[in-house]
Structure 1
Amino acid sequence: MATNAPRDIYYAVWITFFILGLGSLLPWNFFMTATMYFTSRLKDPLIDGNGTAVNGTTIGTLESIFNNVMTLSSMVPMLIFSCLNSFIQQRIPQKLRISGSLAAILVVFLLTAVLVKVEMAPLTFFCLTIIKIICINSFGAIFQGSLYGLAGLLPVSYTTPIVSGEGIAGTVAAVCMICALATGAALQDSAVGYFITACVVILLAILSYLALPSIEFFQYYMESNRPRTSTDQENKWNKPDVVISCSEEEDKPDVSVLAIFKQIWVVAMSMCFIFTITIGTFPAVTVDVQSTIADGGAWDTYFIPVACFLLFNVMDTVGKTLTGICKWPGADSIWLPILVGVRVVFVPLFMLCNVQPRHYLPVWFGHDSWYILFIILFAFSNGYLASLCMCFAPKMVAPHEAETAGAVMVFFVSLGLTLGSAFSFAFRAMI
């Protein structure tokens, strides 16, 4: 079948999947990058800088709880809808799931950009923001699951552009954060730039997806992975009734999520563990590491944006992109779960860096170079191993089960993110 396949002329399909990968995470990365903008609008004018009300009573502020609530309201809907997507993808057309989810996220970001210039009470702004977070992550989970399932119908190398696009999304957001710091741009102006850029990327992703069916390479693999061909459909009328009944069931084969999980459980659990370790330490622990050589200079200002966020995203992208060239270890190799498990060593390594404030553990790796080395290995292994698992899963099942396998993998990504968020509180408290 592959020998008769048309060429991906000008790498049009590869580039399209890269854009779709970029569109899947860039909007949310920009949303998180604008955290300072959101917290600045949640300051209650009746409360002073110490959180004390005008009558002298100390109370909690929306500003102080925003980050925790944002994490909860992003992870829980993502987990729920990733799970639901494994089932609804069999009932809702793929085109509606992908283009509809992107359109919904586009509307949310357009609204977010408009609201930058609209004055409102902190509580109202807080509620609207949380609702937007829930919507972005709910539709984002459906989109990601459907996208990986779609890529699973193509050659295995076509999962790589998706994960590369996701990696570039984090890098772009980190660069924009550094540029905003360097230029001293106002929070509102930076936020408008983030949200408008996100809207442009989402719109580009929608247009790219709608153009996919017109590409011969894409058409070939979609037709090749159909349960029946048109010739089979015509021939069934010449067969006995009992055979016709059988053929009709083959037209729409049953897809069992449990049966698929039994085939891909090693890579699925590996994916979950990868993100549990990654999110458990990044950024909850890594963001509190302080430079020991900056001495109050410019490096002190840019240390975390560059050494933590930018370096992590660059090396994560390098790891993801490398899977387009090298896919070792294989899906059935014992080395894959072993390498995934070994990543747990990064938890104590980062804890023993110069994380401040600290109360219990000593500092063993105080110099900045240790921290930078750990970030490089940590990010590269995250990108490479996660990309491997995501590439392997759709190819471990039958072609008509590939989309569901992709949705199952996204669920385990979401589960890993949720578990990692929960463990991050414990890891930080242990320091």
Structure 2
Amino acid sequence: MSAAVELQPLNEAKKVEDAEVEEETPEPEDKGNLVFYIILLHGIGTLMPWNMLITISYDYFESYKMLANSTIDMDTGKVTGDPTVYSSNFQSFQTIASQVPNLLLNLLNIFIVVKGGLAGRITVGLSIVAVCVITTMIFIYVETSTWLTGFFTLTIITIIVLNGANGVYQNSIFGLASELPFKYTNAVIIGNNLCGTFVTLLSMSTKAVTRNILDRSFAYFSIALITLVFCFISFHILKKQRFYQFYSTRAERQRAKNEEAADNEGKMANYIATFKEAFPQLINVFLVFFVTLSIFPGVMMYVKDEKKGGTYDFPLPQNYFMDVTTFLQFNVFAFIGSIVAGRKQWPAPNKLWIPVYLRLLYIPFFIFCNYLPETRTLPVFFESTWLFIIVAASMSFGSGYFSGLSMMYTSKTVDPSKAQVAGMMAGFFLISGIVSGLIFTMVIKFVVTA
């Protein structure tokens, strides 16, 4: 290959030479789908630390670490202690501390120019998340009940930093994938859903193996840390792949051609133009995740088989009912949906809004299932547990399928020079949908129990 066509990684600091890569240069092959699997791995990596944290938070933080005078029997795993304001409200503190910085850093990541571009942001983001995971692991076997306020403060700060850095990492991965062919954006979504499935299976298996929450927590965060290490190594392998270099260099060249015109009009005008082009798909992204997070997990996990004052009568062990019907079911069907989205894209971009808007009907359905049977004041219209499971499966499949489509369509329905920014905007709307859905879950609970 001549010097005139030397390929360089995406957004690495460089001058775009007058001698450009010739348009007729054949597109290289992604040998063995290596780039696809690396992007998929980063889809897992963007959610692994947080999934591990929220899965273990009830047993580890709320039911042990945040209790006053807490003790644990290392053989039986039995925990004793007194409830505190920290334990009683930990889930609310955790939600606010995680999602607000994630949302803000996603937004800032779109507009702020950092030396080294996306490559630098991904490397720094991964490193900070890894440090936060290590910090959490250090205190697992340390007695913290004697300085509970300090430990609570440290935990919340760690959650804020972890999710802020992870927001930049996730947003940058979407920006990176958006400049590769169609299916690579969906690889991130596939990785996200595969991560959820893996964490759910890990939760069920560790419950069967040990009751000691400290050992379970150490296993959880160790796996999260190992995943981050693989992500870090794989990213440096990715930058050396000719397939990746070809598309990132081509995208950089396309942006360079448009920068002079953009400078004349102002960079903000370029962002506004990108937003206008991508807006229909950005709304689709938002609504898919808003509906999903309004229902999962905050509503689904409290739908019971037993009616008010009744007894459990479903062919699953009761202690696994929530694990299977909520977490495992959602993650498996969402994973399948995202796989299908990579193979079959229907409907077309201009018609995608129809099924996305129709998904809003899931919210009233789940409200009138046997949700919070002991405290609800609204009537239950859908008492069948099997009906709940079937509709939940369709909602989960649609979440994976339509999230994959909307994310892919966002970057591919704009001018190629705007694909990176559009992909990062889609990442921001994804997080916005998640935050809005989580908040709306609280509204649903208030309405049902008022």
TM-score above 0.5, yes or no? yes
State the distance in 2 between where 1:220 and 1:8 align. 11
Q: Label 1:89 to 1:316 Cα distance change in 2 as closer, same or farther (>3 A).
A: farther
CA apart distance, 1:81? 0.8
Structure 2: which amino acid aligns with 1:274?
V
Please say if 1:45 is aligned against 2:69.
yes
Q: Which runs of 5+ in 1 are unaligned?
A: 52-59, 234-245
State the distance in 1 between where 2:30 and 2:211 align. 43
Please say if 1:337 is aligned against 2:361.
no
The one of 368, 379, 396 aligned to 1:352: 368
Q: Is the 8 A contact 1:273 1:340 kept in 2?
A: yes
CA apart distance, 1:128? 1.2
Q: Is the 8 A contact 2:254 2:417 kept in 1?
A: no
CA apart distance, 1:91? 5.8
Aligned residue in 2 for 1:56:
none
State the distance in 2 between where 1:407 and 1:365 align. 40
CA apart distance, 1:359? 2.7
State the distance in 2 between where 1:2 and 1:129 align. 54
**Any residues of structure 2 matched to 1:264-343 within 5 Å, and which?**
264-292=278-306, 294-295=312-313, 299-333=317-351, 336-343=352-359
The one of 69, 73, 89 aligned to 2:93: 69
Aligned length: 406
Q: Label 1:298 to 1:123 Cα distance change in 2 as closer, same or farther (>3 A).
A: farther
State the distance in 1 between where 2:34 and 2:261 align. 32
For 1:22, what is the secondary structure of its paired residue? helix
CA apart distance, 1:199? 0.3
Q: Is the 8 A contact 1:291 1:300 kept in 2?
A: no
State the distance in 1 between where 2:86 and 2:258 align. 60
Structure 2: which amino acid aligns with 1:266?
P
Q: Is the 8 A contact 2:68 2:82 kept in 1?
A: no
Please say if 1:208 is aligned against 2:215.
no
Aligned residue in 1 for 2:260:
249
State the distance in 1 between where 2:160 and 2:228 align. 18
Aligned residue in 2 for 1:18:
40
Q: Is the 8 A contact 1:320 1:384 kept in 2?
A: yes
Q: Is the 8 A contact 1:227 1:250 kept in 2?
A: no
For 2:273, what is the secondary structure of its paired residue? helix
For 2:239, what is the secondary structure of its paired residue? helix
Q: Is the 8 A contact 2:305 2:314 kept in 1?
A: no
CA apart distance, 1:251? 10
Show CA shifts across 1:195-228 (max 9, x none): 0000000010011111112111111112222226
Task: Name whichever of 67-76 and 353-362 sits farther off.
Answer: 353-362
Aligned residue in 2 for 1:419:
436
State the distance in 1 between where 2:315 and 2:213 align. 23
Structure 1: which amino acid aligns with 2:121?
R
Structure 1: which amino acid aligns with 2:344?
C
State the distance in 2 between where 1:228 and 1:408 align. 19
Aligned residue in 2 for 1:408:
425
Q: Is the 8 A contact 2:101 2:164 kept in 1?
A: yes
CA apart distance, 1:394? 1.3
Q: Is the 8 A contact 1:227 1:252 kept in 2?
A: no
Q: Which runs of 5+ in 2 are unaligned?
A: 1-22, 72-79
CA apart distance, 1:296? 8.8
Please say if 1:139 is aligned against 2:139.
no
Aligned residue in 2 for 1:238:
none
State the distance in 1 between where 2:30 and 2:160 align. 37
The one of 128, 132, 156 aligned to 1:104: 128
Structure 2: which amino acid aligns with 1:423?
F
Show CA shifts across 1:319-362 (max 9, x none): 111111011112122xx111111111111111121122333222
Please say if 1:224 is aligned against 2:241.
no
Aligned residue in 2 for 1:378:
395
Q: Is the 8 A contact 2:186 2:341 kept in 1?
A: yes
Please say if 1:362 is aligned against 2:379.
yes
Task: Name whichever of 92-101 and 61-70 sits farther off.
Answer: 92-101
Q: Is the 8 A contact 1:86 1:257 kept in 2?
A: no
State the distance in 1 between where 2:129 and 2:357 align. 35
**What is the RMSD of the two structures over their aligned residues, measured on CA atoms?**
2.5
CA apart distance, 1:307? 0.7
Aligned residue in 2 for 1:148:
174
Structure 1 residue ranges (4+ consecutive) displaced by more than 6 angstroms after TM superposition: 46-50, 250-253
For 2:68, what is the secondary structure of its paired residue? coil
Aligned residue in 1 for 2:52:
30
Q: Is the 8 A contact 1:152 1:159 kept in 2?
A: yes
Show CA shifts across 1:265-309 (max 9, x none): 111111112222211121221111112484498621101001100
Structure 2: which amino acid aligns with 1:188?
L
Task: Name whichever of 119-128 and 5-14 sits farther off.
Answer: 119-128
Aligned residue in 1 for 2:7:
none
For 2:348, what is the secondary structure of its paired residue? coil
State the distance in 2 between where 1:68 and 1:88 align. 30
**Any residues of structure 2 matched to 1:140-219 within 5 Å, and which?**
140-219=166-245
For 1:45, what is the secondary structure of its paired residue? strand
State the distance in 2 between where 1:251 and 1:346 align. 43
